[in-house]
Amino acid sequence: MRTPGQIFKRCGCRNQATKQRLDRACPRLSERGHGTWYFHCSATNALGRAERVRRGGYPSQAAARRARAEWLAHTGQERTARSWTLERWLRYWLASRTQIRPTTRMNYTRDVDLFLIPHLGRICLADLNYRKLTAGFTQIAASPNSLGRCPSASTMQHLRTTLRAALNLAIREGILTDNPARRLHVPGGPTPHPQVWTTERVAQWRGTGIRPAVAVWTVAHLATFLDLVTADRLFAVWWLIALRGLRRGEAAGLRWCEVDLDRGQLYIVRNRTAVGYKVVEGPPKSAAGLRVIALDRRTIAVLREHLRRQLHLREQREGVPSRVELR
């Protein structure tokens, strides 16, 4: 739906007493060369919504009328690209992502609010190009945070991924024909190479303070750690993570109804994590995360002892004997 709107003249004169702009009430507007011409109208954008626009600064009424006709002649996709800033599109894109994990939404929101909008948000979608995105990413890479640290290489890569995903939606909606973020070059950081935490490397670390970025425990290190946490109330959790390969979120989301001690099986069907200050539960990180883990005799014994301790604490707290039989 299109509306022809209005064409009007306004100026920047101010009331001497109140200092407010006179705009269209200025008595000098009838004078030739005083003020500039504007148009105001609305038409449906690419999303099926009425898009209102007001443009100005034209030297004559005829120029404003031609500009209005040109804007109304554009398609809904073209009007959206010329009217929407990247900030507005990023907000719309975030609101449309209703099927993503809470942690993914948190990371996307961080990228949008802290980096993309402050440095690139004012650019219209139609004006986005490789040169402007490169300049914006260069500014982001050189901007320190409150701790004086500039964004890491992995953060910059994630920003590019977020922006590329947002602009891909604009392409699917027909608003853009090309994704300039696809051609962005973001230097990657060095990939840390895992190194076994041998006795020699431990001695070097103690002498120089330098250690590998990723130090892998030996069997002796793992045994020492488990010995130290034997009395810890979460010993069963450390045991499962260390020897059965559970992720942190999988161990935190595990329930007794998913543990079959008689058959020696454990079912991974849930992931529990924190998003900000809120704990959320959902399926595992990937489809492959839905799995059955076989339990050895020692692990079964550890889990039985953990269950026995939990039931005892519940009896003390509630004063109700447990009806669960432990063999």
Residues 112 and 44 in one domain: no
Q: Are residues 94 and 126 in the same domain?
A: yes
Structural domain contains residue 325: no
Q: Is residue 108 domain-resident?
A: yes
CA distance 249 to 252: 5
Q: How confident is the model at residue 322 (pLDDT cuts 50, 70, 90)?
A: low
Structural domain boundaries, residue 115: 86-183
Work out the average pLDDT over 195-223: 92
Tens digit of each residue's pLDDT (9 = 90 or more) over 248-305:
999 999 999 999 999 999 999 999 988 888 898 988 878 888 999 999 999 999 999 9
How do residues 128-169 score in pLDDT, each as one tens digit? 999 999 999 999 999 998 888 899 999 999 999 999 999 999
- 8 A C-beta contact, residue 196 and residue 220: no
Considering 82, 110, 132, which residue would you say is the last residue of a domain?
82
**Do 91 and 174 share a structural domain?**
yes
One domain for residues 65 and 90: no
Do 98 and 166 lie in one domain? The reply is yes
77 and 91 co-located in one domain: no
Give the domain-ending residue among 34, 53, 82: 82
Cβ neighbors of 241 (< 8 A, separation 6 or more) are 247, 248, 251
Q: What is the pTM of this model?
A: 0.75
Contact 39, 64 (CB under 8 A): yes
Q: What is each CA distance from 228 to 225, 238, 256, 301, 307, in whole angstroms?
A: 5, 11, 25, 18, 20
Query: How does residue 240 score in pLDDT terms, banded at 50, 70 and 90?
Result: very high
Co-location of 36 and 121 in the same domain? no
Specify burial of residue 310 (Cβ count, 10 A radius: 0-12, 13-18, 19+): middle
Paired tokens of 149: 């640290």
What percent of the chain lies above the pLDDT cut of 90?
Answer: 58
Q: Is residue 220 part of a domain?
A: no
In a domain, 219, yes or no: no
Q: Is residue 284 part of a domain?
A: yes
Helix (H) or strand (E) holding 216: strand 215-216
pLDDT bracket for residue 82 (50, 70, 90): confident
> Directed axis angle between helix 102-111 and helix 153-172, to 10°?
100
Q: Are residues 178 and 90 in the same domain?
A: yes
Flag whether pLDDT at 321 surpasses 70: no
Domain match, 135 and 60 both? no
Tell me, yes or no, whether 196 lies in a domain. Answer: no
Say how many domains are in the chain: 3
Residue that terminates a domain, selected from 58, 82, 106: 82
